[in-house]
């Protein structure tokens, strides 16, 4: 068993104002071993981005994000598929095996149709992902994002899709912020065994200050993060643990003290 | 089958600034037949409140709210039980058969313990409710309220509790705002047959402007309210349908045009 801190991965959205170069630098000087870049932060030269990350001794735990499969017209849905093929190419170029998927809202489809569209899109994309040695990792998002970010809202849904897909390159990302409330969470984590492609941590402060950017640093909220991490580990998952915190106040204050704080909280609460 | 509009019930929180007398008056002049008062709006003379409502030709669809069972200490939990007995008395005095329950957050208990506390409290309160001819109606709240309002977050949880309680005075309230996202919602509505004690409508605008007071008038959001209403009706439920909208902007503008607007939207979307 490796030291837990060695599994810490810095998800780039935790310091949204930072460039990729700045995020890589901050990870490097703090001996962080993994990073999760976001696509909108990549440069036009992805080979150079990959080299920057590699030279800092970092591996890429995942690329964020593909998805957003549902759309009002067939043409728009083809565009989404094309964009996801590009995301798979980018993940491959960054030497990561995980493309994190935020599956998207219904966007004019009914909820059942939108959910079927997600499944159809995954069926179509999985052969391409397999050639690139990339896992398409469904991240169930909290139900409060159902209307604008993802119609996949529980681990049970994700597991049901993985059962239906039955493909070695289909996986799931467990994010404590999204799943902590679910009475089925431990049952469904167990059911996710050998299909967990990522594990994300943050915390749920009370009251939650904002729907999108209100999550907080581990220890500032009510989530029993350690119990969830131990459940994920008990399935055999030994991969990186991404810290992913969308928080306006944290972004405004992000400086050289951020990663040391995260490392301290990671050891105390994850 | 009665006219749908006859089933409209005005939940008092839809016009939070109104006194009970004002809400009753607005219902009366618009031929609304049912009202759902909130406990903090009751006067010290509940017999007079009941008379006020009865004289306006209104019946009370439910009293809001009991619940908040979990607490950090045994003493505090006894206080919650006592408060719920009072709420049952108040429901009885208002001639309603339904006490709507917001079951409360964990408040220092673990989530599993808090959920067990809810079940324990219901076991204890049900005989008292039965004597008062009041149904204790569990309202699952959206998972985004798990940390601060209710650890009961899905209809499946509520149905599981009703199975465990197996008591004629235990029921469930289905509120579209809380359950619309759930992939299991139609299955669980069917499972709720003959235990549905109330049905609440509003809508989920995109983006949602606020966590607590962001819900909106029917037709201003993405919920397929009619499909849910038809599913509830298909279980045999023929009771009142409460309009319950927590919305700061609506409250600020609440005047004589409110109920006619709600009636129009009710007919178009419910």
pLDDT tens digits for B26-67? Answer: 999 999 999 999 999 999 999 999 999 999 999 999 999 999
% of chain B surpassing 70 pLDDT = 99
The per-residue pLDDT for range A46-91, each reduced to its tens digit, is: 999 999 999 999 999 999 999 999 998 999 999 999 999 999 999 9
Q: Do A157 and B111 touch (CB under 8 A)?
A: no
Using an 8 Å Cβ cutoff, are B18 and B254 in contact? yes
Q: What pLDDT does A1 receive?
A: 40
Using a CB–CB cutoff of 8 Å, tell me whether B106 touches chain A.
yes
Q: Do B144 and A142 touch (CB under 8 A)?
A: yes
Contacts of B207 in chain A (CB under 8 A): 147-148, 211
d(CA B9, CA B200): 9
When pLDDT is averaged across residues B193-210 and rounded to a whole number, the result is 98
DSSP per residue, A104-153? B--TTS-HHHHHHHHHHHHHHHHHHHHHTT-EEEE-PPPGGGTTTTBS--
Q: Do B222 and A110 touch (CB under 8 A)?
A: no
**Closest-CA residue to A125 (of A160, A89, A95, A153):** A89
Angle CA A83–A89–A92, to nearest 5: 145
Q: Do B147 and A106 touch (CB under 8 A)?
A: no
d(CA B239, CA A238): 53
pLDDT-derived band at B2, boundaries 50, 70, 90? low
Using an 8 Å Cβ cutoff, are B231 and B186 in contact? yes
The per-residue pLDDT for range A87-131, each reduced to its tens digit, is: 999 999 999 999 999 999 999 899 999 999 999 999 999 999 999
**ipTM associated with this complex:** 0.95
When CB atoms are compared, the residue of A115, A142, A147 closest to B222 is: A147
pLDDT-derived band at B108, boundaries 50, 70, 90? confident
Q: Do B148 and A106 touch (CB under 8 A)?
A: no
DSSP per residue, B133-197? T-EEEE-PPPGGGTTTTBS--SHHHHHHHHHHH--TTEEEEEEHHHHTT-TTHHHHHHHTTT-EE
When CB atoms are compared, the residue of B157, B181, B211 closest to A211 is: B211
- Other beta carbons within 10 angstroms of residue A190's beta carbon come to 13
Q: Is B64 helix (H, G, I), strand (E, B) or coil?
A: strand
**pTM for the full model?**
0.97
What values do phi and psi take at A216, rounded to 5?
-140, 175
What values do phi and psi take at A263, rounded to 5?
-65, -40
d(CA A234, CA A186): 11
Using a CB–CB cutoff of 8 Å, tell me whether A182 touches chain B.
yes
Extract the tokens encoding B148. 């601060």
Using a CB–CB cutoff of 8 Å, tell me whether B157 touches chain A.
yes
**Closest-CA residue to B18 (of B217, B261, B255, B249):** B255
d(CA A123, CA A84): 13
Displacement of CA A134 from its chain's centroid (Å): 14
**Closest-CA residue to A196 (of A131, A266, A138, A125):** A138
Using an 8 Å Cβ cutoff, are B151 and B111 in contact? yes
């Amino acid at each position: 068993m490796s030291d837990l801190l060695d599994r810490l991965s810095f998800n780039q959205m935790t310091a949204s104002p930072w460039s990729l170069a700045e995020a890589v630098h901050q990870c490097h000087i703090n001996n962080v071993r993994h990073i999760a870049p976001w696509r909108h932060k990549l440069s036009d030269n992805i080979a150079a981005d990959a080299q920057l990350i590699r030279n800092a001794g970092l591996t890429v735990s995942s690329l964020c994000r593909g998805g957003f499969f549902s759309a009002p017209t067939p043409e728009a849905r083809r565009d989404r598929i094309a964009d996801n093929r590009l995301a798979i190419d980018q993940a491959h170029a960054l030497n990561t095996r995980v493309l994190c998927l935020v599956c998207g809202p219904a966007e004019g489809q009914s909820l059942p149709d939108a959910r079927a569209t997600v499944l159809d899109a995954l069926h179509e994309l999985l052969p391409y992902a397999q050639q690139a040695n990339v896992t398409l990792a469904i991240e169930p998002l909290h139900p409060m994002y159902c209307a604008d970010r993802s119609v996949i809202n529980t681990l049970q849904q994700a597991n049901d899709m993985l059962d239906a897909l039955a493909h070695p390159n289909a996986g799931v990302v467990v994010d404590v912020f999204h799943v902590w409330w679910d009475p089925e969470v431990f049952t469904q984590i167990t059911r996710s065994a050998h299909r967990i492609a990522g594990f994300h941590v943050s915390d749920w402060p009370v009251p939650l200050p904002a729907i999108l950017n209100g999550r907080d640093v581990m220890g500032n909220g009510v989530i029993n993060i350690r119990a969830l991490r131990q459940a994920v580990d008990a399935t055999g998952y030994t991969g990186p643990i991404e810290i992913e915190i969308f928080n306006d106040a944290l972004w405004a204050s992000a400086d050289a003290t951020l990663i040391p704080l995260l490392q301290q909280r990671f050891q105390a609460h994850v």
